[in-house]
Amino acid sequence: MDSQLSVRLKGAFSKGGLSVFRDQVGLARRGRVNDDWDAELGRLELRAKEEGRVKLSLWRYADDDWLVSLVYARDPLPADEVEALRRRILDAAAHAGLTVTAQVPS
């Protein structure tokens, strides 16, 4: 899988804030927040495996260190769709009080 977009976030979610963030970005729940072993805590399948998988995932590295990544298997998403996702992620992060520490591409 190749990376098309990565947004690194810093900060802790308030109670219920993770659910709100996932809803705003359109991510389905994955993993268990209370389980330190679970790193992937949200996923949105934008294109099925048969069509050349594209997925957006929320990864937890620490309680206050997060990554939202967009990856693809065959063909990347069109630039306008990526920009719309990026804006949605940034808006949800701002609403949750998280700080964007890095974006690739910026």
Domain ranges of the chain: 2-104
User: Tell me, what's the pLDDT at 106?
Assistant: 61
Lookup: tokens for 50: 């048969």
HEC profile for the chain?
CEEEEEEEEECCCCCCHHHHHHHHHCCEECCCCCCCCCCEEEEEEEECHHHCCEEEEEEEEECCEEEEEEEECCCCCCHHHHHHHHHHHHHHHHHHCCEEEEEECC
User: Tell me, what's the pLDDT at 36?
Assistant: 65
User: Tell me, what's the pLDDT at 21?
Assistant: 97
User: Tell me, what's the pLDDT at 39?
Assistant: 85
User: Tell me, what's the pLDDT at 34?
Assistant: 66
Find the helix packing angle between 17-25 and 79-96, rounded to 10°: 160
Mean pLDDT of each 10-residue bin along the chain, 106 residues long? 96 91 94 70 94 95 93 95 97 96 88
- What CATH number labels 2-104? 3.30.70
Total-model pTM: 0.91
| 33 contacts: CB under 8 Å, gap ≥ 6 | 18, 41
